Amino acid sequence: MPTASPNTGLDLDFVRAQFPPFSDPETRDWAHMENAGGSYVPVQVIERLETFYRRYKVQPYADFLPSAKGGEMMDEAKAAMAALCNAEPDEMILGPSTTQNTYVVSNALRGWLKAGDEVIVTNQDHEANIGAWRRLAEIGCVIKEWQVDPETAELDPADLDGLITERTKLVAVTHCGNVVGSLNDLPTIAEKVHAVGALFMADGVAAAPHLLPDVKAMGVDMYAFSLYKTYGPHLGFFYVKRDHHDKLVNQSHYFKAGHGLAQIDVAGPNHAEVGAAAGVVHYYDTLHRHHFGDEEADLRTRAGKVFDLFARQEESLTAPVIDFLKDRPGVRLFGRKTADRSLRAPTITFAHRDRKSADIVQAMLEWRIGIRHGDFYALRCIEALGLYPEDGVVRISLLHYNTSEEVERLLIGLDRAL
């Protein structure tokens, strides 16, 4: 049975009571450690989705009651998600996915870019934040690659200095590697990018489940993350700073031209899921009320305190896994060998000299540990590390709702398997 973590201050029994799979007889015995692929969803989100479907599942924003209420739920969610990330509501969309949002924005920026402009991407990122930008070569942009260290998969900020020039127009970097778990120092990168007047795009998908994004403090011009990894429905949050809206060429119906981010919100939004997205913020608020009482007026202050609890819990879960793997004979552990929340997310990957990643993952099933292996769509990173992409790395990705008992079980299983 899960126990509260006295050292971290997070009431884990209370946390886990918010997520149905932890009490459902079919799923409760499984330790879900593939959270970087997708997190479980709390009751706050499920209930809103159900309310939308039960009562308001009509075209929203008309005056009759079910339609008006559906629209209100969507507006509440957009306002809450914007406030959570310190953006204005007209600076973000809740689109279908990060991959699709990024692809649409990269097309929308084609009119602003010209042949000879330089675009910098990394080979640490998930392909969502590489491929769309690399295709700007089709209009004559020069693509440069900021490459990881082939041993550690880390990006060295000094290497960026050698790539940025007066012709650089866009730099796209991941906030956190979805394979290596390392956090990149966005404000420092933003300074370098802005010094030459370029745009800075950061992919926050692997970071946002673990830290509270602040689009202003990070210095980003564009920022993306996927709500289905931050306890929400399958949607993608995409931020574009208002200063840059006039750089976008309309990708939607002709009459959306000049209407800010409506120009990149091409798909009719998934109304019910957008409406349900406020449940993510309600989840954070439920935890805040339980742990701290109700006194904080400001949403970001409340959520910030909850994320501090998450980080302490996640550090306490990560430390024993890193300690176990870092000196294990035959194991090549990627990313930083620390649990420090300022340096890494609790996304831990490794490969073994003699054992296939696929076999290690398979062996964990006996222990009811849900993990995965492969390239995780960060194929260029896996190749840079000299690994076979089909087998790739073993990834263990934890969240605050994992327990120390689950980690103990993981380590016993790994001990036998390696």
- By beta-carbon proximity to ligand PLP, the closer residue of 375 and 391 is 375
Quick check: helix, strand or coil at residue 345? coil
- By beta-carbon proximity to ligand PLP, the closer residue of 227 and 261 is 227
- By beta-carbon proximity to ligand PLP, the closer residue of 121 and 205 is 205
- By beta-carbon proximity to ligand PLP, the closer residue of 128 and 399 is 128
Q: Which residues contact 217 (CB under 8 A, 6 or more apart)?
A: 86, 187
CA Rg, the chain, in Å? 21
From the list 236, 212, 282, 209, the residue with the least C-alpha distance to 34 is 209
Give the shortest CB-263-to-ligand PLP separation in angstroms. Answer: 20
Give the shortest CB-116-to-ligand PLP separation in angstroms. Answer: 29
Quick check: helix, strand or coil at residue 223? strand
Measured distance CA(236)–CA(233) in Å, rounded: 9
- By beta-carbon proximity to ligand PLP, the closer residue of 71 and 177 is 177
Give the shortest CB-127-to-ligand PLP separation in angstroms. Answer: 8
From the list 368, 379, 373, 372, the residue with the least C-alpha distance to 410 is 368
What pairing do the DSSP bridges indicate for beta strands 369-370 and 31-32? parallel
Count CB atoms within 10 A of the CB of residue 84: 22
- By beta-carbon proximity to ligand PLP, the closer residue of 152 and 404 is 152
Strands (E), 209-325: 222-226, 236-240
Residue 250 Cα distances to 49, 74, 259, angstroms: 31, 23, 9
Give the shortest CB-346-to-ligand PLP separation in angstroms. Answer: 14
Give the shortest CB-236-to-ligand PLP separation in angstroms. Answer: 5
Residues that bind ligand PLP (CB under 6 A): 36, 97-99, 126, 128-129, 174, 178, 203, 205-206, 226, 236
Residue in the structure block whose two tokens are 């990881």: 148
Measured distance CA(206)–CA(181) in Å, rounded: 8
Helix axes 278-292, 299-326, angle to 10 degrees: 90
From the list 374, 311, 208, 283, the residue with the least C-alpha distance to 44 is 283
Give the shortest CB-204-to-ligand PLP separation in angstroms. Answer: 8
- By beta-carbon proximity to ligand PLP, the closer residue of 97 and 168 is 97
Give the shortest CB-347-to-ligand PLP separation in angstroms. Answer: 9
Give the shortest CB-38-to-ligand PLP separation in angstroms. Answer: 8
Measured distance CA(343)–CA(123) in Å, rounded: 19
- By beta-carbon proximity to ligand PLP, the closer residue of 34 and 285 is 34
